[in-house]
A = this chain, B = another copy of it.
């Protein structure tokens, strides 16, 4: 098996396993107690906090251990928003944040707050000046990820932090995907991270609140973690999380070079091996281990299963792989193709041979799915019949609407139009993306009795 889904959860680092085992023996007691087992637990906790602070680049008393990265983000945003309630109730997030940030924003909005969601370009990066332009006198908090979890694009955190600092607005950085690679540069105010993304265990998140940041923890709290994360500390997980962070950091510089070369190879060779593929994300400002591409005329879930059968575990932002049947909000915000989407995320230590084997397997897997779906052969030459065609794809799911469009585009003359009637949310993203890939003109959408009509003008 080749596990190419490290961005979801990385396998446990050997150092994490070792530290976890050791602290199951030494760190099971309550660190708040005065007896020797409690004092031993307290010492482990204090040492872990010091080490975490060193890895993050902050003071030990700024570190709060939480039960997960999600919890760190939820508590961090809620506490910072409440701490600055008098300033105002405006929150800025990028449109491509992890869902836990967006869920926090939704709750804030439902509670009467105002949220600005700053868009991104086609590479997935925010424009620092666009982000800065969203700052208002009543902005209580801004959130920006250090790097995107779906396409690997690195965000301009330092520049955005500078703009926030100038405006007196705290910036919370979700560093879940990048903290294993290095500290987050720039003058941020809060930081959240999750151990299982860097090879630590589940059950440990990190929230850093810089001294001087106004913060009012929400909900019931207790005396643990400076009143910012209630409940019995999961000390074995904390110790293992910090030990593995130090371990992956020690290997980071070397592994970054190696993985970047492997993902670069995927970026270059996949489009050469498989027709009609769009590689997405920033080609240069990106995490070492993540590369994402989408395959026209392919059902993401079917491709994922084909790859799984062939021994590759990947994830996908296609609509068919989500519980809500909508494409990933990241791909949507980038305006790129979402069908047949594959995210390859390599853990440190991934063997070159596994990536080479992926090149052998992928073309057949994609071709197999396309064949089953009856996808059009590349560039068919058909006789022209009518200047306008209607494709009824109602009730059909991604990637069928695009396949139907591609099947008939040659049937209208250059200048003619095809209307694709679809009630699938992915079509809104994928039909314009297909037009861009194929050099056809996307003429916009029209409301229809059922679903939406997507109008495409044949240009070539």
Contacts and interface: CB of A to CB of B under 8 A. Distances in A.
Contacts of A222: 70, 99-100, 103
A199 to B, nearest CB: 9
B234 A5 contact: no
A5 B39 CA distance: 13
A321 B38 CA distance: 13
A304 interface: yes
B103 A220 contact: yes
When A and B form their complex, which 3 residue pairs have the shortest distance between CB atoms, in order from nearest? A67-B67, A68-B231, A70-B231
Contacts of A69: 231-232
19 contacts: A5-B30, A5-B35, A8-B30, A9-B232, A11-B28, A28-B196, A33-B315, A34-B321, A36-B308, A67-B71, A67-B234, A74-B220, A103-B220, A103-B222, A103-B230, A107-B219, A107-B220, A202-B233, A218-B219
Given A24-B12, A35-B308, A35-B314, A234 B103 contact: no
B67 A37 contact: no
A449 to B, nearest CB: 32
Copies in the complex: 2
Contacts of A236: 201-203
Given A35-B314, A203-B237, 17 more contacts: A3-B29, A8-B30, A12-B24, A29-B313, A33-B315, A36-B308, A67-B231, A68-B231, A74-B219, A103-B220, A104-B220, A106-B220, A194-B232, A196-B232, A201-B236, A202-B233, A234-B237
A215 to B, nearest CB: 17
A78 interface: yes
A90 interface: no
A132 interface: no
A37 B203 contact: no
A20 interface: yes
Interface string A84-113: 000000000000000110011011000000
Nearest to A75: B219
Contacts of A233: 202
Nearest to A323: B223
Count chain B CB atoms within 10 A of each CB in A24, A203, A221 and give the residue with the most.
Answer: A203
Contact of A17 (B24, B107, B194): B24
Given A11-B28, A35-B308, A71 B313 contact: no
Chain A interface size range:
35 or more
A36 B312 CA distance: 9
A126 B409 CA distance: 77
Contact of A37 (B107, B194, B202, B313): B313
Contacts of A8: 29-30, 33, 38
Contacts of A34: 301, 304-305, 308, 315, 321
Contacts of A30: 5, 8-9
A434 B74 CA distance: 48
A133 interface: no
Contacts of A166: none
Contacts of A78: 219
Contacts of A431: none
A235 interface: yes
A1 interface: yes
A234 B202 contact: yes
B230 A71 contact: yes
A38 to B, nearest CB: 7
A201 to B, nearest CB: 7
Contact of A304 (B35, B68, B194, B321): B35
Contact of A12 (B11, B28, B99, B100): B28
